[in-house]
Amino acid sequence: MNQYLEFAIQLAEQLKGQTSTNPSVGAVIVKDNRIIGFGAHLKKGEAHAEIQALNMAGKEAEGATIYVSLEPCSHYGLTPPCSKAIIESGISRVEYAVKDGSLSKSGHDMLEEAGVEVIHSPSSRAEELYKEFFIQQKKKTPFVTLKISTSLDGKVATDFKESKWITCKAVKEDVLHLRSENDAIITGGGTVREDNPLLTSRKPNFKEPKRIVLSQQSSFDEDLQIFKDRDNPAILVTNHPNFEIKDTQNIELYKSDLSNLENMLQLLYKLGYASVLVEAGPTLVSQFIEQDLADQLIIYQAPKVIGGQGKYQFYQTNDVYPLSKIKQFKFISTEIIDEDLKLILRK
């Protein structure tokens, strides 16, 4: 792969999870084998990667090549089309890694019609980066990842409710990074009451994911730390008609039918959340799987056998299916993290 296109993809990867329903994009401008401008899309509504790179390059952009991780856009949204800006800058050549099937008019065609040389250089690495974006664009609901930390026998806790810590310290660090790559984290009211989690990424200079709690109860205790964050109020989605918010709690309240999680996901997408990480107990995890709403599973498996009655098996259902009708996922990757195994699976 061209080194400059690879750099553009690296820039896009670094900002994954920061651009809401927009794709994360990187751009690099090169003239006479010298980088004269580069940029990355930092936040929805702000300048796209191509515009940042053009601003850095200035008048030198004329006659240069721009390398972009994703096909330049051709439509007016919160910002003007990048293809138009590229044409006006005098850029003579565009090379990009992934074609954007969500565009109503091809940026590739728009550039070629203006006399710009355009090259599509497919990249499996970039295709992987944009897989989530294309799925959520098609469904109009967030890309849903279930994060599960489990023993070899599929337990997320002992029958005594002990769950800290089944997996190793290195896994905790990986989970913090995973959180930073998602717009929001979904958990259940039971997990909030039992574990009192913060559910933050603690990643400097990155926006914290929104914490979203699903609950059918009428209230929460005042001392739960997830509701005390003044800078990043938690979202509470409930179907309780008279939920009570206490004065000390920083909560954004929304109503939704929690028996049908797709309704809740449609609400979150309208609010601008394109990717969600579900960190919850077996009841909510099983509900996502049963309703066929999990796009991806990330399972951290410790080399431990917990045993017991199966009360805390990560997937629980009373339904019994023949093998021909069971829910099937595909292995995407496996990785050893210290002493534990990380599995990524998709539908």
Annotated binding site for substrate: 163, 179, 202, 279
Q: What are phi and psi of 169, to 5 degrees?
A: -60, -35
Residue stretches of the annotated binding site for Zn(2+): 48, 73, 82
CA distance 313 to 307: 10
50 is an active site residue: yes
- Using an 8 Å Cβ cutoff, are 156 and 282 in contact? yes
* Alpha-carbon distance values, 132 to 10, 16, 127, 138, 184 (Å): 17, 10, 10, 10, 14
CA distance 279 to 256: 19
- Using an 8 Å Cβ cutoff, are 174 and 298 in contact? no
Residues contacting residue 80 through CB under 8 Å, at least 6 positions apart: none
- Chain CA centroid to CA 244, Å: 31
Residues contacting residue 304 through CB under 8 Å, at least 6 positions apart: 151, 152, 166
Q: Is 176 left (phi over 0), alpha (psi -120 to 50) or beta?
A: alpha
The catalytic position among 6, 50, 132, 181 is 50
Query: Which active-site residues does the annotation give?
Result: 50
